[in-house]
Each structure stands twice: as C-alpha cells, then as structure tokens.
Chains A and B, each alone.
Chain A
Amino acid sequence: MRTLVGNHGWATIAAPGNTGNVADFLVCRLIGSIFICFSAILSGCHAPLSANNSSRVEITYWRTLTGAAGEGQEELVRRFNNSQNEIHVHCEFQGSYSDLAAKLFTAAAAGAGPDVTQLGTFEILQFARAGLLVDLKPYFAGPEAINTKDWPGTISTAGEVEDGLYWLPFNVTVPVLYYNEDAFNAAGLLGPPTTWDDFYLYARKLTVRDDNGVVREAGVALWNITWPLISAIWSEGGKLTTRDYGHITLDDPVVLKVMTEFQTLVREGAALLPDEASGGHRAAFKNGRAAMILDSPAAFQEIFAQAIGFTPMVAAYPAGKNGKVYAPGGGGLVLWAKNPATNRAAAWRFLRFMLSAESLAYYSQQTGYAAFTESAQQVMTNDLKDSRFGVIHDGLRFVRGDFSINMSPSVRNAFDEAFQKIMVDLADVKTTLMEADAKAEHAIAERGI
C-alpha cells in the first residue's frame, strides 16, 4: 500500500495500521468518480441540445445521401436556420437509406430518434403501423398546411397507410434512360428508344463484340434492383400486387413477358448485370462498357460529370402498351413520433420549408432530383429550358404514387430474389416467378406485410 500511495502525499495515512482508512478513502474516491461519470453521461442523454437563445426550439434532422444530394440538404438546413430565430435544426448524416433505417429502428427501440427524418420508401408501412411516424393529415387541415393541389399525379397518396398520411415526397425521382450518344451514332440509331420493344432491339444493336465474339460493350447495363423494371411492367399493363396485399401477382403474364425479355438480353450478352462493389451499372455506363442504363435522376450529376470519353444523354423512359406509367423513387420526409410533441410544431415548420417551391427548386438544380410541384418548376423556369432537366420533369406527369411493392418486405424480398435468380443464375422465369408469388403470399399470410 505504501508503494502505491507513497508519492501522492498520502504517506501519513498509509502507515501500517491505517490501511483501512486508505482503502475507504480510495473506495469513496472511486465511487464518487463513477457516480460523477454516470451522472454526466445520463445528463448528457437527456439535456436539450445547446441553445444560444433560451426561447429557441432545437430540433434534429436525420438525412441520407452523399455528394451534391447531401450538400444540398445541408445548405437548405443552413438557409432555414438563417431565415428565422425561433427554430434551430441540427442536420445529421446517418449513412445510406438502409443505414438510416437501421439507425431509426434502433433509436425507436430505445425510445429516441430525430424530430424530422428523411426516409426511403421501404419502411413507411412498418414504421407507420408501429406508431413511429406522425400522421400528417391533421397538419393539412391546420393554418400552416401545405398546398398539394399542384402536386403531380397521385404522388401525394404515396405516403398513405390505411387512413393516415405518414410520408411526404421530397427528393423525388422518376425513372429515366441514360444513353451514350456516340454509341448510338456508331450503331446508326438516331435517337433513344421510345417503346420497350425498341429498347430490346436497340440493346442488341448497340452490343459490340470483338473478333472472338467476346462482348466488349453491352447494349445495356442493368441495376441489380427491381425498381427500374416496375415501370416497364406497369406500362405494359402488368400488375404486381394490390395496395392491401390481398392479391399478389408476381406471376402475372406481363411480368413473365418483361422478365423474359430482359433475361434474353442477358443470355445474349446484350445486357450485363455488374456487381455493385465494382460500381454497378453506373460505373459500367460511365466507363463506356454499356450504351444504356435504366436509372433515376439521382445519378444525373454523377453521370454528366464523370462519363469518360463519350457524350451522355438522358431520355424519357420507354412507353408500353398502356403508355407511360412510372414508379416513383427517391425519398421523403417524416415526423418522428418518439420525440416530445412539443417539438412537433417546429418540426412541421421545417418540413414545410423543405417542401417549399424555393427549396425544391434549389435541390433540383443542385442534384437532378425532380422539383415535383408546379410552383417549384416555375421557380426554375430557366433550368427547365435545358432539355435534360425538361425530360426529368416531363416524366412527373406519368407517376403512379404507389409504393406497395417497396412497402411490403414479403413482396419486395420475393420479387428481388426472383429478379436475381432470373438475371444472374438465368433460372427459368415462369417457375421462379411462381415460386416468388407463393413465397410472398405465404409470408404475407404469416406476418401481415
């Protein structure tokens, strides 16, 4: 004991016979230190965010997306904070859409979370049913309502779950086709395909092989998710599920036809399905390994800035027998129900700001996401003279505000799995879709969604 404390000025009490006192002293100090540490931690957990102005409401906004799409949101938050003194928003990046969802999920389990958050479409139903999202319908009846009359198509219904409205679109995308203009010219094609039949034909014509028959440039590089195909299926008159999941039709004849067409392209080498770790379909297009990709305007800045050695162009998604019917994509905004209701009014004001014409126009200019309201489009009239922006915004007219495929994990997983088996393992299309349909129905019966 002497050796332990001798150099710390406690030698007098550490003399033989006084060991008990030293021990008690040490215990007291240790317990005291632990108590102080835990108190500090606990108080840190519950203390309000630092406020310079005591009357100012501090709220937290969780976001996803990187690059221009992330910086655009940071800038909007900055503008909101500078525009008034009553509310201060702390913007926190939480990773990809799936990372954000996982963090929201764990925050919910801990009874915490942000006041406002960006949210993809996958979790809307599950989170809304679990009571994690605030029903926004009452806010539309209040004095600070958002005018949705100039919102296109059925997009305002996209976030509806049962009788409530839990999600509002923010960074909206419509599917678009990017193409390599030089490759089109070399293949003697005068413009992008306007129908799906043309698309399949063009993909074959654009495929370049060397003397050994090895494919050097594919007609199209496919994204390894099903979202781009949903619009193709819908526009050809196909159905995948009803919104209440009472009728799953993954084995619908039109679904079968579309999937077979795409699989044939893969078999022939006209379509490739690159792995995501290598950059996926976008890298294949930017590097000139594929002449077309089916993607979203979210890739707009990246593609036009990084395409190597060719002229990229963006075109409207092809039409099917039923014309153009587009599945919307992207993300939206929600109010988190786990936080104190006292912050809700402030959160709603921030949400209104983010969905204002000016904010949507700014975000669209920065990123390529669609400024989906007419008033926002009026703000960016000059930008829309650029045909590339024009194509994206013209597509909004054809949006069907229906995220039912995304919202049900059972349907989504079954369809994704079938897509991968069909395109990667070249499995029999009909059998695979029938199995997927049965699997989705079984899971819905078991788990409800």
Chain B
Amino acid sequence: MTRTSLKACGIRRRPRCIASQWRSNRSEWLTFGAFVAPNLVLFVTFTYWPIVYSLHLSFLEWDLIEPSAVWAGLGNYARILNNPQVWRVASNTLIYAASVVIVAQFLAFFLALLLNLKLRGQTIFRTLAFTPYIATTAAAALVWVLLLDSKLGPFSFIFARLGVEGPQWLARSGLALVAIILVGIWREIAFATVFFVAGLQGLPPECYEAAALDGATRRTMLWRLTVPLMSPVIFFLNVSGFIAAIKMFDIVAIMTKGGPVYPASSTYVYHLYKLAFRDFEAGAASAFAVLFLMVILVATIAQFRAGQKWVHYE
C-alpha cells in the first residue's frame, strides 16, 4: 500500500522510531507525562509495588521482624497446600461465595420483578430494598449477632414458645458458617436488586408487544425474553458478586473470627489476615495472597469464557 493510498484511507504512517516521535511531539508528551505522573506514582507505589513485594516475600521464610530472611523457594506454597486448615478455609469460601451469589441473585431477580410493577409507593419499597447495602457491614453484622443470639434474639423467642432451646448460631461449628451466609445473602440481595430493577426498566417494550401478539404467556416471556435480555446484568452481578464474596472479611471478623473452632467459619481473606497479623507469618501470608490472586484470576477468566455462551448483548 502506497503512502497516497494510506492517506486516502485516513491512516497516518507510523513514525519511524520513538525518538523522532518524541522530538516532534515533545511538549505533548511532557504534558501527558505531567498529568499522568501523580496518579501513576501513587498507583505504582501503593498497588503494583506491594504486589511485586508480596510475590518476593512469598519465597521467603520471614516474619518481617527477624534481622534476616531465609530463602524458602516454594516452601511456603507447599506448606500452605499441605495444611488441612487451608483446604477447609477454601471450601468455606467457595460455599459462601456460591451460596451468596446464587441464592441472593435468584431472590433479588424476583424481588426486582415485583419492584418493577407499576404500583403506588414503589419508590419507598425500592429504597427499603436497597437499605441493607447502604448500612455499614460492621453495624449490620452486629445487629445480626443480636438477632441470632440464642437467648435474647427474636428467633430465640420463637423457639422458647415451642419449648425448645434456640440454636446457638455463632457458638456451634456447624452453624457459624450458615449464619455468615445468611448475612451475606441479605446484603447481596439489596445490591443485586438495584441492578436488576435498573436492567428491567431498560428492556425494550416492543419486544414484549411483539411477543404478546405472538400469543406468548407471561411465563414464556419471563424465561424466553426477560432472562436472556437481562443476561448482561446477570453476568455482571455474577462476576462482581463472586469476587466480592471471596474477598469477604468484615462479616467473619465481627461475627465469628473464623470460629467457634477455627477455621469452622473462616474465609480466604480472614485466614490471610490471621496469617499475616495474628501469626506474623509474612512469607506464608504472601504466598497465600499470591494463590488468592491466581484463584480470582482463573475464576474470572472462567466466568468470562462461560459468559460468552449465554450472555446476549443485543
């Protein structure tokens, strides 16, 4: 292709080298650099450097305070993967994430369908539905601790009426994770509902008119029209909800601290925190963090791959 034809196509020829590009656009480059630099410096210092340093630490046997570190190679990774506690933590995290994402989105979708109906006072209902997400997690978790109290909570009152002792949600290994999942679902429903309501309001009415003319029932329209059209929203909530769920820390820290028998209700990030700031094992904690990054990366890629098959953007 000649230079003339390139011009005709609106394509500028690429300068021969960066140096000549720099010479011709020096002032623009400087302006660009000046505006980008503050953000870049902060980003590199506080985001990328810690990641790189964490990767470095993961190969060391060090608690950060001993005068010297010992090279451990993949020792920290091996120790983590051979620790049964870690596998319990991983399974807890997966159970939590799957339960919260699936149950909350399912419930939120139907709640959004209700909130999308043209009723009086709907704005109030929508506000109420979103309130749990506005509440600070710490405060919400504390309220849930009181609600679930086996002697003083409202549920215990019902059990007392039945003549049985209410379950000790947070003091029993088998129930603590369930209690945490309940709180997680309660919060996630609020968040997902807002997106579903917004998504439902943006659906093209002509599709429904056409479907109605074709004799489609409400149920058919819901499964064949609404759900496919809402698939981008569902996909977004799946990805963001899953990442948020496996990063969950505050509910565990406030309600159970991973107990009552550690790690009965511990999740990935809480265990990471415990390793780093309770057990002071910086090397192992860094290795755990690197593995966590991998897990999120793989899970997100898998979700995007899977999403290509069922998400419709048009």
Interface residues, chain A, with chain B CB atoms under 8 Å away: 19-20, 23-24, 26-27, 30-31, 34, 98, 102, 105-106, 108-109, 126-127, 130-132, 212, 214-215, 224, 273-278, 287, 289, 409, 413, 417, 420-421, 424-425
Q: Does B168 contact A (CB under 8 A)?
A: yes
Q: Please determine whether B67 and A130 come into contact, CB atoms closer than 8 angstroms.
A: yes
The 4 closest A-B pairs by CB, nearest first: A275-B170, A23-B27, A20-B27, A109-B64
Q: Please determine whether B261 and A30 come into contact, CB atoms closer than 8 angstroms.
A: no
Q: Does B207 contact A (CB under 8 A)?
A: no
Residue of B nearest to A105 (CB): B280
Q: Does B255 contact A (CB under 8 A)?
A: yes
Known: A98-B278, A420-B261. A26 touches B173 (CB 8 A): no
Known: A30-B38, A98-B278, A212-B164. A224 touches B260 (CB 8 A): yes
Query: How far apart sit A276 and B37, CA to CA, in the bound complex (Å)?
Result: 48
Q: Of B66, B142, B163, which one neighbours A130 at CB under 8 angstroms?
A: B66
Among A27, A289, A417, chain B packs the most CB atoms within 10 A around the CB of: A27
Interface size class of B (residues with CB under 8 A): 35 or more
How many residue pairs link A and B with beta carbons under 8 A? The number is: 102
Q: Does B30 contact A (CB under 8 A)?
A: yes
Q: Please determine whether A108 and B261 come into contact, CB atoms closer than 8 angstroms.
A: no
How near does chain A come to B48, taking the closest CB pair, in angstroms?
Answer: 18
Q: Of A214, A276, A417, A421, which one neighbours B257 at CB under 8 angstroms?
A: A276
Q: Please determine whether B165 and A215 come into contact, CB atoms closer than 8 angstroms.
A: yes
How near does chain B come to A20, taking the closest CB pair, in angstroms?
Answer: 4
Q: Please determine whether B37 and A30 come into contact, CB atoms closer than 8 angstroms.
A: yes
Query: How far apart sit A30 and B37, CA to CA, in the bound complex (Å)?
Result: 9
Query: How far apart sit A273 and B261, CA to CA, in the bound complex (Å)?
Result: 12
How near does chain A come to B224, taking the closest CB pair, in angstroms?
Answer: 46
Q: Please determine whether A127 and B65 come into contact, CB atoms closer than 8 angstroms.
A: yes
Q: Of A24, A106, A277, which one neighbours B256 at CB under 8 angstroms?
A: A277
In the bound complex, residues from chain A placing their C-beta under 8 Å from that of B146 are 278
How near does chain A come to B262, taking the closest CB pair, in angstroms?
Answer: 7
Q: Could you list 24 examples of A-B contacts with CB < 8 Å? A: A23-B30, A26-B31, A26-B34, A27-B33, A30-B38, A31-B37, A105-B277, A109-B65, A109-B282, A130-B66, A212-B163, A215-B165, A275-B168, A275-B170, A275-B171, A277-B170, A277-B254, A287-B151, A287-B152, A413-B279, A417-B261, A420-B260, A424-B172, A424-B260
Residue of B nearest to A98 (CB): B278
Q: Please determine whether B64 and A424 come into contact, CB atoms closer than 8 angstroms.
A: no
Among B260, B262, B278, B282, chain A packs the most CB atoms within 10 A around the CB of: B260
Q: Does B132 contact A (CB under 8 A)?
A: no
Beyond the given A26-B34, A27-B30, A275-B256, could you list 11 further A-B residue pairs with CB under 8 A, ordered by the A residue number? A24-B27, A27-B34, A34-B41, A98-B278, A109-B64, A109-B65, A212-B163, A287-B151, A409-B279, A421-B261, A425-B173
Q: Does B314 contact A (CB under 8 A)?
A: no
Residue of B nearest to A34 (CB): B38
Q: Please determine whether A24 and B30 come into contact, CB atoms closer than 8 angstroms.
A: yes
How near does chain B come to A288, taking the closest CB pair, in angstroms?
Answer: 10
In the bound complex, residues from chain A placing their C-beta under 8 Å from that of B56 are none
Among B38, B67, B279, chain A packs the most CB atoms within 10 A around the CB of: B38
Query: How far apart sit A126 and B64, CA to CA, in the bound complex (Å)?
Result: 12
Q: Please determine whether B278 and A102 come into contact, CB atoms closer than 8 angstroms.
A: yes
In the bound complex, residues from chain A placing their C-beta under 8 Å from that of B31 are 23, 26-27
In the bound complex, residues from chain B placing their C-beta under 8 Å from that of A20 are 26-27
Residue of A nearest to B163 (CB): A212
How near does chain A come to B207, taking the closest CB pair, in angstroms?
Answer: 43
In the bound complex, residues from chain A placing their C-beta under 8 Å from that of B171 are 273-275, 424
